[in-house]
């Protein structure tokens, strides 16, 4: 995934006529399974010798949310539970927490 991220950032920077990439900000849902530490580790290794070398990587984590099938409340999932905090009925995944995308790219002209 980090290789794809780097390739996409390099492509976008090239299309913009930018020189070096200074910073990349990504949004990663917790359900993706990616940890901030592993993303940063592989980003640092895989950007060596590229226009992204030395760029700062910031990661904003998104917690998964659930939607109660009974009352409709959207709530943050508590580990090992799917129960609505308002009515106690079971919730279903709302879709939040599984995203992974580039938020911003900062470049040097």
pLDDT in tens, 3-32: 999 999 999 999 999 989 999 999 999 989
Q: Residues 6 or more apart from 48 whose CB is under 8 A from it? A: none
* Cα distance between residue 19 and residue 32, in whole Å: 31
The pTM for the full model equals 0.82
Which has the higher per-residue pLDDT, 87 or 78? 87
Look at the block and give the residue holding tokens 């009925």.
Answer: 89
Instruction: Supply the pLDDT for residue 26.
Output: 98
Instruction: Supply the pLDDT for residue 53.
Output: 97
* Cα distance between residue 41 and residue 36, in whole Å: 8
Instruction: Supply the pLDDT for residue 78.
Output: 81
Q: Is 47 exposed, middle or buried (0-12, 13-18, 19+ CB in 10 A)?
A: buried
Instruction: Supply the pLDDT for residue 69.
Output: 94
* Cα distance between residue 51 and residue 73, in whole Å: 45
Per the CB < 8 A criterion, the answer to whether 38 and 60 are in contact is no
């Amino acid at each position: 995934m980090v290789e794809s991220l780097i390739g996409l950032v390099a492509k976008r920077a090239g299309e913009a006529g930018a020189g070096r990439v200074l910073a990349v900000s990504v949004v990663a849902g917790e359900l993706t399974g990616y940890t901030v530490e592993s993303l940063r580790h592989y980003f640092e290794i895989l950007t060596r010798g590229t226009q992204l070398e030395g760029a700062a990587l910031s990661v904003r984590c998104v917690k998964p949310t659930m939607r109660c099938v009974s009352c409709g409340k959207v709530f943050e999932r508590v580990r090992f539970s799917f129960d609505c905090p308002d009515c106690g009925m079971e919730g279903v995944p709302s879709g939040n927490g599984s995203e992974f995308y580039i938020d911003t790219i900062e470049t040097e002209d």
